[in-house]
Amino acid sequence: MAPMLEEEVLNDPDYIAERDSRGTLVAFATAGAQVRQAITLSLEAGIERVAGGERPRSVLVASLGGSAVVANVLELLAEPGSPVPVTVRRNLPLPGWVGPLDLVVAVSLSGRAPGPLAVAAEAARRGASILTVGAADSPLADVCARARGVHIDVGRGRTSSRTALWSLLTPVILAAGELGLIEAGVSVMSDTADRLDLHAEACRPTSESFVNPAKILAMALAETVPVVLADGPLNGVAAGRAASMLARTARMPATSGELPDAASQIVACFDGPFTAGGGHQVGVRQSAPDIFADPFLDGPAQPRLGLLLLRDAPPATLTQEQGEAEALTDAVLQTAYDAGVRVSTVVAEPGHPLVRLAGQIAQTDFAATYLAIGLGLDPAVSPHVADLRDRTRR
């Protein structure tokens, strides 16, 4: 049976406050403030001293769990023009080539995540330059201090890496900008903070469900098996984050893909049991469910496939390659409509790539949180996750 979300609960401030016990919505609303505070903390810590102020031979980033997207964002921004390679590592072993000429970035909100902590410790042993981001009084900060690296504090009140993304990401972006790996500095981060503020205002809890873009998206995804599809690399990062948020926050099993590579595997799902017809008419085009279906005779309706398409802001002029990519995206979208897939589209607003990405992440973060609340779940508390931690605690 498909999960049900009653629209009126998303317009009830008391209900939202009761379900959101740890203030997830408030935490996401502070994203812009996180960026501004992280700029201050980074400058105070001497972000310009990273790698001795000299460009390293390579950069390796270690982040995982809720902060995994930090490494993905830096890799995305550096790929087009970075003069040195940027790689991602979640845990040991540290590649054999890492040495004194390289920079290792380790990110952990608590400063205790085993993967980043182990990577930082091994990098320090080899004499590599170190940049760490996390809690001030933590093992990660201690490793960095012993290696004479640069540690950036995340500030107070950051309780979850999912909601503290911009406290973790901002110092890494500023460091990369200082080293000339990407074209992003304080000005770009300030624009990013402004974009995050705009989404926080539009997606605030007191905004009615018929105008709040995050609530609208949450309602569209509520009765679906969601697939998040990106139209390119930038939205590929946002899609991965969205799928993770839908699973971890809203408890919805979600997958993600990026065009053009994922086109076939996504479209193949349109033939399956979660499109219109419930799998009884596989291969038959049908743009809507059967209005004559009797839930008592035919059984309760099952979830339908939901396609969440993340699209980049349209460029002023299209190159041939961009035109072909647009045509493929449109073709996938039309195929989804023909198959009776429930489609939602989120289009980025123009700006620097990081600013565009911030808007996409903000809207889907809020949507996943409203979806959890609308389904009667606490977005920050999962009994099964707590149980797993108890079972694996040493």
Q: What is the pLDDT along the chain (394 residues), one digit of tens a residue?
A: 556 788 899 999 999 999 999 999 999 999 999 999 999 999 999 999 999 989 999 999 999 888 999 999 999 999 999 999 999 998 899 999 999 999 999 999 999 999 999 999 999 999 999 999 999 999 999 999 999 999 999 998 888 999 999 999 999 999 999 999 999 999 999 999 999 999 999 999 999 999 999 999 999 999 899 999 999 999 999 999 999 999 999 999 999 999 999 999 999 999 888 886 544 444 455 545 555 555 555 544 567 899 999 999 998 888 999 999 999 999 999 999 999 999 999 999 999 999 999 999 999 999 999 999 999 999 999 999 888 888 887 6
Rounded to two decimals, what is the model's pTM?
0.92
Collapsing DSSP to helix, strand or coil, 177 comes out as: helix
Helices (H), 61-164: 68-78, 114-125, 139-146
DSSP sequence for 14-55: HHHHHH-TT-HHHHHHTHHHHHHHHHHHHHHHTGGGGGGGS-
DSSP 1: -
The values of phi and psi at residue 68, to 5°, are -60, -30
Write out the two tokens for 381: 């508390």
Beta-carbon neighbour count of residue 160 at 10 Å?
15
Exposed (0-12), middle (13-18) or buried (19+): which is 327, by Cβ within 10 Å?
A: exposed
Give me the domains of the chain, ranges plus CATH numbers.
7-19+203-383 (3.40.50.10490), 24-195 (3.40.50.10490)
DSSP sequence for 337-390: HHTT-EEEEEEPPSS-HHHHHHHHHHHHHHHHHHHHHHTT--TT--HHHHHHHH
Contacts of 34 (CB under 8 A, 6+ apart): 155, 158, 164, 165, 166, 167, 170
Beta-carbon neighbour count of residue 11 at 10 Å?
17
Q: Which helix (H) or strand (E) covers residue 89, if one does?
A: none
First to last CA, the chain: 39
pLDDT of residue 276: 63
Helices (H), the chain: 13-19, 24-29, 31-45, 68-78, 114-125, 139-146, 165-178, 186-202, 213-221, 233-248, 263-268, 295-298, 320-338, 353-374, 383-392
Pairing of strands 103-108, 59-62: parallel
pLDDT of residue 159: 86
Do 131 and 175 contact (CB within 8 A), yes or no? yes
pLDDT of residue 272: 87
Distances (CA, A) of 90 to 60, 93, 107: 10, 9, 10
Spatial distance between the Cα atoms of 364 and 366, rounded to a whole number of angstroms: 5
Distances (CA, A) of 17 to 29, 33, 381: 14, 21, 14
pLDDT of residue 280: 46
Do 56 and 102 contact (CB within 8 A), yes or no? yes
